[in-house]
Amino acid sequence: MSVYTVGYLASLVGGEVVGNPEIAISGVADLASAQVGDISFLGNPRYTSLAFQTKASALVVDRHGPSCFPCTQIRVDSPSLAFSQIAALFLPAPARPEAGVHPLAFVAQDVELGQDVSVGPYAIVEKGVRIGPRTIVGAGSYIGPECQIGADCFLYPHVVIRERCVLGNRVTLHPGVVIGSDGFGYELIEGKHRKIPQLGSVQIDDDVEIGANTTVDRGRFGKTWIQEGCKIDNLVQIGHNVVIGKHCVIVAQTGISGSTTLGSYVTLAGQVGLAGHLHIGERAIITAQSGVAKDVPPGAIYSGSHARPAAETLRLEALYRKLPQLWKRVQQLEQRLEELESGCSPTGMPHPERSS
């Protein structure tokens, strides 16, 4: 069992100790379940009351937050990040499969595998694929023809990457991710929906992580493109020819329709829906369950969605735009009514209409 002093942990994360730096820490836990010998953290002010009641021997807290907690503290700029670094000391490293191709895997003859690549049982790697050093292809995964995958990627079991898709370095795909499925494109011809061929591909740049059962459709002609550092949650749908800028965060059950583009550092909260052919500006934030049908400027925060009959929605939107003018008229009418009831004009003289 690993044991570290609070002082050592503080030096690891660049924190300041308030209390006894010699306290021994042998584990990590959340605020509610922590016991003596554990360290926990307060990353959200809504849990402050729990922090005052915790049995933890030490807390990682915000450098600029409250300081009167009943235990030793490590004060840092980002408690969540610092606690993650500390927790890594106590948790075992993730199990890494042995390098090599499992006997139950199928790898086409012309596939290029980098040094220390691991291909798990029942995985299929088709012709023309190139895989960089130390990448892991999990059990039951499928890599389609002519795909290119960079170094140090981790494809968990049952990932599907269809033909001609490109992954950069250090890309993580969790179980059930599908990259390069057909975009949703049909034309109504003679009363029937006829499929439009989806001939493009998907490009995923370095350091992208995509959560379980998320799907990324291939472009109709060009590519669907997820740029460097994006973090995408479970159960997200990304349509064909979507472009997602660098370091975006996209939370569970979000849907992005085809040909929409996101600038860098955009945040889409849970269950956001974006219509097609939009542009979401850099560092914009769309709050949970919002439906967006128009472009969003950089840095804006948008929220809200109300499903109604379309004609009613259009009438309401027209009224919403007139609300400032209507409110001003109401204020003027109220003032006029007050004057009439008091019998005085705005100058304080008797109102002509009342005096007559």
Element (H, E) at 112: strand 112-113
Distance from C-alpha of 168 to C-alpha of 208, rounded to nearest angstrom: 8
Angle at 148 between CA 119 and CA 165, to 5 degrees: 110
Q: What are the backbone angles phi and psi of residue 52, rounded to the nearest 5°?
A: -75, -20
Side by side, the strands of the sheet bearing 72-76 are: 16-18, 72-76, 58-62, 38-41, 27-28
CB 99 within 8 A of CB 119: no
The single residue of 240, 247, 277, 279 carrying the catalytic annotation is: 240
- Output DSSP code: residue 188: E
Measured between alpha carbons, how far is 59 from 29 in angstroms, rounded to an integer? 10
With the C-alpha atoms ordered 20, 24, 29, 33, is the resulting torsion angle positive or negative? negative
Contacts of 323 (CB under 8 A, 6+ apart): none
User: Is 64 part of the annotated catalytic residue set?
Assistant: no
Query: DSSP character for 19?
Result: S
What would the DSSP string read from start to end of 73-85?
A: EEEES-HHHHHHH
Residues with active-site annotation: 240
